[in-house]
A and B are shown apart, each in its own frame.
Chain A
Amino acid sequence: MMIPFHFKTSLHLTLLTGRRARDLAELLEHLRSVPGSAVFYHTHRFLAQHQYLSPEPPNDFAYWVSNVLQEDRLGEQLAALDVVAFSSIRALREAIMSRIEAQLSSGKNLRVAPEGEEFHFREAVTFVLPTPHMARDLREFADCVEQIGFGSLSHHVFEASLRLDRGRNDFSQWLAETLGERGVADAIARLDPYTYTLDGLRREIVRLVRARVGAAA
């Protein structure tokens, strides 16, 4: 039996952790022990909050290291991390830490953030709610994607691979496995969601799906 796609939405509340770092050593120390929801906040949430910017800023860690500590080399390395490609927060945390460790082991003097510009660790509480939107075929799917909110698009595209540990977004998963639409599923999976604005991403997904509907008709 065909399983319809039920659209959900993720909404986030920000918590303060009370932890702050003034230099790279403190940043690393906190990174070892902060909850995974804090690493999620400063990478994925940060990107989602700024993803419409052109050019887009890198993740929060890279932004702070480059703009506040003015450690350009490390900032560039952290910015180059493809955060959406990691399938677990653990792996992402280790990748960030290993780059900071390499910089610290170079033995250079640590730069200290000016007062008031310390790195404050925050974490996200995620609320997942079902929406009334449901799709049973490609046409309905495109209609729904046109109507859903940012939280829903973010839930199914940005956060899916982390939750499911499958390295794939929910849309591609359902299109391939339930509808057998591997072509359009792969095309959506290949999109880098952070190089689009919200509306741009939505339009691109709808365009790909509608093109397939047109081709099949």
Chain B
Amino acid sequence: MTASPENADRAVPRVELRALDTLWFQVGGTVCNLACTHCFISCSPTNHTHDFMTLAQVERYLAEAAALGVREYYFTGGEPFLNPEMEAILEAALRVGPASVLTNGLPLDPRRCARLAALAAASPYSLDLRVSLDGWDAGTNDPIRGTGTFERILEGVRNLHAAGLDPVVTVTEVCREAGSEEGKARFFALLRDLGIEKPRLKVLPVFQIGAEAERGGAYESWQRLREGDAPETGWDHLQCSGCRMATGQGVWVCPILVNEPAGKMGETLADTLAPFPLAHPACWTCHVYGVSCRT
């Protein structure tokens, strides 16, 4: 660990945009039917810090992205499927590239899953669903995601599987053992019990901002990146060297900083083809834990 209070006088490093490969959409805004205790942007049914994006907004960015040669599209929120235009948005995205949707799994009833499977079949590109789960039983998951959610998430996963769309299950390290081999094995076993023969799992560290700052504590002052902290290979391992995040209020550097006005880089993608200062403590987490929000 290289950052420390002693190096606070060193300058904030800047990350170059290596290539805009991944374009995220804050398509569900910060509106969610859940209010998870570890949510780094504190999403809830009443949080309109960001609103739903419209199909027209998304299409404008998709056109700009195609001209820049963007490789893949990710949709998150809030809960993307609360957005009434979400399926039309997904259809538009799948016309120009592969898409992934990050969902809490609750809106995945059999009918929606069948429609998603039809969208996937109609595109030459891959559609991936990522379902969040924070424990291998109700006792571990529900205190984080809400009473009764464990069973409902599993129901969504079952429905996806039945429609032929095996999801990637995302767990955070709020579930302390999630990153260990034993922890992963428990999640794999849970998914195999649902009939998923080749389960996929993504484990993410927590970002100590938003609701998580209240739950687990905020960042300490030494958790900052400084000039000289970069490995020999530079900052290319950071996802912000290859992504941007489109919202209804402009384009941000990455999916993590959408509730920080300082994370906004511009109005169009062209405005954001520039270096970004790694000034936020969350940048420290990305560096130290090697985080990428993509699958």
Q: A and B: real partners?
A: no
- Residues in chain B within 8 A of chain A (CB atoms): none
